[in-house]
Structures are given as structure tokens and as C-alpha cells.
Amino acid sequence: MMACDYDAMADAELARWQGVTHERGMTAKHHYLAVTYRGQTRRIVYPASGSDRRGPQNHAQDVRQVLRELGAVRITPAHKPRRTRHRCKPADVPLPLPVAADQRQGMADALRALLK
């Protein structure tokens, strides 16, 4: 991984936080990201040449953790409406008509006679 991968991931994360400023720098063998929020500054060190694909994701997580410690507020993006599963519409079947009590009694008697 290149340092530009780390920078791109950090830039995408920093865009989601309100009132945060940052600047990049380099030490002898590493890069750093200096994050400032309400006058407090923290340095986040990351490698000049990363070792695996998880490095930029871990760096973004480090940025999030430092910003939470500083008390920064994350801007929540508007969520897309969830895609609902397509459900079959029920068939247009007419509902049974209500049966009067005396008709129910007659049907019950007829069933008892059949079961004997």
C-alpha cells in the first residue's frame, strides 16, 4: 500500500467530521496526520509504505478514535431508503359473508350427524 491510499482513506473520513482541521507531515521514516479540533491537536502516525490491504482501513479507524477522544461531532449522512423485499399481493378473493347464529347451529348439527 502506498501513503496515498492512507491519505485518501483519511480524507474521506475527515470530510465526515464537523469543525476538524488537519495537516500532513513526515518524520524520518513515517508520515503523520496532525488533527486539530477546538485547539487540541493530536498526531496520528502511519507508515510511508504500508504492508497489507487493511492498513488504510485501520488508519481511518485510528482517525475516528482520535476525533472521538477530542470530542468532535460526526456529520451523519442522509441514509438511503432501505430496499424492501418484493412481496406478492394477495389474490382478490372475496371474504366469506358472516353467518347468523341459527345457521351456525344448523351447520354444527349437520356435522355431528355426519360424524355419527
Return the number of other C-beta atoms located less than 10 Å from residue 50's C-beta: 17
Residue type, 115: L
The pLDDT confidence band at residue 80, using thresholds 50, 70 and 90, is low
Tell me the mean pLDDT in the region 71-79: 80
Q: What is the pLDDT of residues 17-66, one digit of tens each?
A: 999 999 999 988 899 999 999 999 999 999 888 777 888 899 999 999 99
Distance CA 35, CA 73 (A): 14
Taking 60 as the threshold, does the pLDDT of residue 4 lie above it? yes
Residue extents of the structural domains in the chain: 3-74
Model confidence pTM above 0.85: no
> Would you give the DSSP letter of residue 26?
E
